[in-house]
């Protein structure tokens, strides 16, 4: 078995409180991100002045309609010099891949201490209607007249196709929402901390058939930051290093523009687009799905959790519905605990970064819903559009 990459490690994670949409004001995105970065530095036991690299994703977008700027961070936080600053494209699809971007800078010798940060406020534009608010262009001119006004409406088309092809039932989506909510109940920062019953799920307001209110992620605000450094330097810092075992981002043209394009063949249409990422992660690490102890799967919508389980090989293609309904993803009693932090469905939606934070804590052995003797954690980014990404972390050295 390969030992994986293990040339860099995550040494610090930090987060602000999580707020319901509109609740973080009068703080700014810069203030939220700065607080998360300082918290990550404190966690790692380093000075913020030691940061010399920034690895963003989502084009350095701060949620919807805002941008993050390295010069602002340097001026505000007192960082004297930066030797690397870059961003992946796409949206939440780059969340896990951004750690790979940080690794690239460190391995190349371009930086020593790299921070990845995501911050989200929705004062300018709420997530749920982002496509309706966009200016008309050749793609939006197909979407908007069809009533596809937000990501959830686009997701409903992919979900319905999976149901048509494989007999997937809404009961599977319900199980994802209910089990994820259960994981959030004991988390102090979680937005949703009341149990969700199956009856409540099926009585939930239908937003984009077959997806109801509880199939949608939360609309929240806040910031999360992660610090990556070389494996050698990590040995001398406050926390036990969490090594990066494998990381990949990208995707195939057949999955294409995903939410905003419906020309994919069925093999890709009813999928999360993560299958090629999974192949690369398994090749880098020498692992298989059977070796993963906890999976932090991007859950902006419940069907995408199911499709990622298939794409990463936790079950066969088209078998995700039955797999989920069997209780396999439960923290207590499941064969592969999924989103032990409550995910974006019940804890908070910070465009994928809460998943990275939870993966680190699971590997440190300090997670609130700790998986016993966990050795490997999988965290994913996206999917919404290319690139999508995946990250495998190993237990703290």
Just list the catalytic residues.
298, 349
Angle between helices 70-77 and 29-44 (to 10 degrees): 60
**CA 140 from centroid of its chain's CA atoms:** 25
Nearest Cα to 350, choosing from 208, 191, 201?
Answer: 191
Cβ within 8 Å of residue 195, ≥6 positions away: 181, 182, 185
Nearest Cα to 180, choosing from 339, 327, 349, 370?
Answer: 339
Indicate the Cα dihedral angle 203, 204, 206, 211, nearest 10°.
-110
Measured CA to CA in angstroms, residue 246 lies from 7, 285, 323 at distances of: 10, 6, 26
> Distance between CA 4 and CA 47 in Å, rounded?
30
> Distance between CA 304 and CA 299 in Å, rounded?
6
What count of other Cβ atoms lies within 10 Å of the Cβ of residue 343? 31
Nearest Cα to 381, choosing from 373, 391, 371?
Answer: 391
As beta bridge partners, residue 182 has none
**247-286 as b/e, with b when 16 or more CB fall inside 10 Å?**
bbbbbeeebbebbbebebeeebbbbbbbbbbbeebbebbe
> Distance between CA 234 and CA 232 in Å, rounded?
5
> Distance between CA 306 and CA 319 in Å, rounded?
9
**DSSP helix/strand/coil, 61:** strand
Burial of 69 (C-beta count, 10 Å sphere; 0-12/13-18/19+)? middle
What tokens appear for 134 in the block?
């966009």
Longest dimension (CA), the chain: 57
> Distance between CA 390 and CA 52 in Å, rounded?
25
Measured CA to CA in angstroms, residue 281 lies from 173, 249, 268, 378, 393 at distances of: 26, 10, 19, 10, 11
């Amino acid at each position: 078995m390969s030992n994986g990459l293990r040339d860099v490690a995550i040494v610090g994670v930090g987060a602000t409180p999580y707020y319901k949409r509109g609740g973080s004001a009068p703080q700014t995105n810069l203030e939220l991100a700065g607080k998360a970065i300082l918290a990550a530095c404190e966690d790692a036991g380093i000075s913020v002045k030691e940061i010399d690299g920034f690895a963003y994703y989502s084009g350095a977008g701060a949620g919807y309609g805002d941008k993050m700027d390295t010069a602002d961070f340097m001026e505000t936080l007192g960082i004297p010099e930066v030797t690397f600053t870059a961003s992946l494209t796409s949206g939440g699809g780059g969340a896990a891949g951004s750690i790979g971007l940080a690794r690239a800078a460190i391995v190349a010798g371009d930086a020593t201490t790299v921070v990845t940060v995501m911050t989200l406020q929705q004062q300018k534009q709420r997530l749920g209607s982002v496509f309706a608010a966009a200016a008309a262009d050749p793609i939006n001119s197909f979407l908007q007249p069809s009533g596809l006004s937000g990501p959830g409406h686009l997701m409903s088309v992919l979900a319905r196709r999976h149901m048509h092809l494989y007999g997937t039932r809404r009961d599977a989506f319900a199980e994802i929402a209910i089990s994820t909510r259960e994981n959030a109940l004991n988390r102090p920062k979680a937005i949703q901390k009341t149990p969700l019953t199956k009856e409540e799920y099926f009585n939930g307001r239908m937003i984009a058939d077959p997806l109801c209110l509880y199939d949608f992620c939360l609309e929240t605000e806040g910031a999360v930051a992660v610090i990556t450094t070389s494996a050698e330097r990590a040995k001398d810092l406050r926390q036990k290093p969490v090594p990066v075992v494998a990381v990949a981002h990208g995707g195939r043209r057949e999955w294409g523009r995903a939410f905003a394009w419906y020309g994919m063949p069925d093999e890709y249409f009813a999928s999360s687009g993560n299958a090629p990422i999974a192949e690369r992660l398994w090749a880098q690490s020498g692992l298989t799905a059977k070796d993963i102890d906890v999976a932090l799967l991007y859950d902006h919508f419940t069907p995408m959790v199911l499709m990622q389980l298939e794409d990463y090989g936790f079950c066969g293609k088209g078998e995700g519905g039955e797999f989920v309904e069997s209780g396999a993803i439960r923290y207590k009693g499941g064969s592969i605990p999924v989103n032990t932090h409550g995910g974006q469905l019940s804890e908070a939606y910070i465009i994928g970064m809460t998943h990275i934070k939870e993966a680190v804590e699971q590997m440190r052995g300090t997670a609130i819903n700790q998986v016993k003797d966990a050795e490997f954690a999988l965290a994913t980014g996206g999917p919404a559009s290319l690139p999508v990404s995946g990250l495998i972390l190993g237990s703290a050295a």
